[in-house]
Structure 1
Amino acid sequence: MKQALKRLATLGLQRDFNAALKYQFRSRLSQLYRSGNISTVYDIGAHHGKWSLGIKKLMPKASFQLFEANPVCETFLEKTGLPYHRIALSKAKGKRVFHSNNSTGDSFYPENTELSGAFGWQEKEVETADLDSFALQNHLPSPDWIKLDVQGAELDVLAGGKFLFSKTKFLLTEIPLLPYNLGAPSFSDYLDAFGAAGFLPVSVVEVHQLSAKAGNSPALSQMDLFFERQ
């Protein structure tokens, strides 16, 4: 009972902490939008598009481009009314094995089930494209802000989008604190790669804890960081 109460208290504090972080972040976004710094947003790893719809309320005149690898999300993306592209972005055009259980954890890099507690994964081969070539071929506008949440494949997308990332002012991405996706880069790898690309982390937007369903302690597993171009 004591452990259960302790976990509930920890979760409550975590929710309050994340709520405060998100409030500060949304205030910063509103300021950037009003000052004309953000007019085009790329949502890479859009899933059902809920994130973009939420940000669209803050930035009603901004244009959005949504990218999602999983075909089962297409029905939901259609309902957003926002432009979307059902494509798996990676380092280059080709094919890769994609691990899916139709959740937000779908990725090229399988989840560490000991940490996530998620099962029912299936492997399927998907076609990939690099961001630079795909955007050029589809005449997409260059982004001011890229939200990047592809479960361990973020640096693959970066490698295939060097030109567009060089034009991007802001970046929001999820970075692991633990080996949550097998074979994925580490926390320091992310910071080194984004730093080399000219981005500096300026704020923590959200922190994530391990799921209690997997019998884990409430350790921090990932965090969402907001970067600005140096």
Structure 2
Amino acid sequence: MVKKIKNFTKCFFNFFGYSIHKKRKIQKKSALDENAFIMYKAIERCVERGLKINTVIDVGASDGIWSRACMKTFPDANYLLIEAQTNHENGLKKFKQEFENSDYVLAAAGKKEGMIYFNNENPLGGLASETKLTNDCIEVPVIAIDEELKRRKLKGPYLLKLDTHGFEVPIIEGAKKTIKAASLIIIETYNYKITNDSLRYWEICSYMEKLGFSPIEMVDFMQRKYDNSFWQMDTFFIPSNSKEFSYNSYT
């Protein structure tokens, strides 16, 4: 009986020029793995695409926690950890003792060597400034990355990581030679103007494009507590002439 009804229905619609087909089930598939936007996954993808690193420069290194994770992917690279806050020195000493291919500098990074102002209020969120700050302001040594790498004879290709809370431009100004030999630059970028002179993430992208770098990965997204809006992420930049950007299709 059911078969007769199906045949009658099919013939009826065929008479008017229509055809009936069984509806196919559409499988909903996520375009990205749930762990895709995690730092180490993005670094692994860069390696799969051919990334080579000889020296890792970790600016805003704290006690070496990021470099320790990076060491799993690049165990044979040289590591230079740059940290301005002296409360992290014990952790940095321990890191250096554990890994012979590492060293650290207790200083801020900036345009040129000397002294610089630093907000020491938050042990995990210090901020360098070329002008005197109102809160918990101290003075710390400042180094230029170009000069520090030259002294230490550390060769590229470089991975430069900046966790520097809005002080990125002066640091890059002091690393112009370094970035010419950089294969990857990772910058903590913000959606809001966190200091008078800081660049927001799209402004950092524009600034880096002028230096010959384009974004290839974005990871570790964070919302701000105030209103749950987008606060920050880490943006990966590679040279704009990299092979990845020569292909513009999805598949």
TM-score range, shorter chain: 0.7 to 0.9
What is the TM-score of this pair, normalised by structure 2? 0.72
Greater shift in the superposed pair: 23-32 or 166-175: 23-32
Q: Is the aligned partner of 1:25 residue 2:14?
A: no
What is the TM-score of this pair, normalised by structure 1? 0.78
| Structure 1: tracts of 5 or more residues without a match | 1-15, 110-120
Q: Name the Cα RMSD after superposition.
A: 2.3
Q: Among residues 123, 127, 133, which one is paired with 1:103 in the alignment?
A: 123
Once the two structures are TM-superposed, the CA of residue 153 in structure 1 deviates from its matched residue by 0.8
2:215 aligns with: 201
Q: Return the alpha-carbon distance in structure 1 between the equivalents of residues 173 and 238 of structure 2.
A: 18
Q: Return the alpha-carbon distance in structure 1 between the equivalents of residues 57 and 217 of structure 2.
A: 19
Aligned residue identity for 2:236: F
Q: Return the alpha-carbon distance in structure 1 between the equivalents of residues 91 and 63 of structure 2.
A: 5
**CA gap 1:207/1:84 in 2 versus in 1, 3 angstroms:** same
Aligned residue identity for 1:28: R
1:225 aligns with: 235
Map 1:109-120 → 2, pairs under 5 A: none
Q: Is the aligned partner of 1:83 residue 2:113?
A: no
Once the two structures are TM-superposed, the CA of residue 36 in structure 1 deviates from its matched residue by 6.3
Q: Among residues 117, 134, 145, which one is paired with 2:148 in the alignment?
A: 134
The residue matched to 1:20 in structure 2 has which SS? coil
Aligned residues: 199
Q: Return the alpha-carbon distance in structure 2 between the equivalents of residues 21 and 36 of structure 1.
A: 18
CA deviations 1:169-206 (Å, max 9, x no partner) are 11111111012334322333311221111111011122
Q: Among residues 64, 71, 75, which one is paired with 1:49 in the alignment?
A: 64
CA contact (8 A) 1:42 1:143 kept: no
The residue matched to 1:108 in structure 2 has which SS? strand
Q: Among residues 170, 176, 180, which one is paired with 1:156 in the alignment?
A: 170
CA deviations 1:134-170 (Å, max 9, x no partner) are 2222333334211111111111110011011111111
Greater Rg by CA: 2
Q: Return the alpha-carbon distance in structure 2 between the equivalents of residues 76 and 101 of structure 1.
A: 19
The residue matched to 1:57 in structure 2 has which SS? coil
Once the two structures are TM-superposed, the CA of residue 73 in structure 1 deviates from its matched residue by 1.0
Aligned residue identity for 1:20: A
Q: Return the alpha-carbon distance in structure 1 between the equivalents of residues 115 and 43 of structure 2.
A: 37
Runs of 4+ in 1 over 6 A off after TM superposition: none
CA contact (8 A) 1:67 1:85 kept: yes
**CA gap 1:152/1:143 in 2 versus in 1, 3 angstroms:** farther
Aligned residue identity for 1:218: N
Q: Return the alpha-carbon distance in structure 2 between the equivalents of residues 184 and 204 of structure 1.
A: 19
CA deviations 1:6-64 (Å, max 9, x no partner) are xxxxxxxxxx98833116414314425xx561232111111110110011112222221
Aligned residue identity for 2:188: E
| Structure 2: tracts of 5 or more residues without a match | 1-31, 97-101, 130-134, 241-251
Q: Return the alpha-carbon distance in structure 2 between the equivalents of residues 167 and 20 of structure 1.
A: 27
Q: Return the alpha-carbon distance in structure 2 between the equivalents of residues 53 and 171 of structure 1.
A: 17
Query: Percent of pairs identical after alignment?
Result: 26
Once the two structures are TM-superposed, the CA of residue 124 in structure 1 deviates from its matched residue by 0.3
CA deviations 1:103-161 (Å, max 9, x no partner) are 2210125xxxxxxxxxxx51101221211122222333334211111111111110011
Once the two structures are TM-superposed, the CA of residue 224 in structure 1 deviates from its matched residue by 0.7
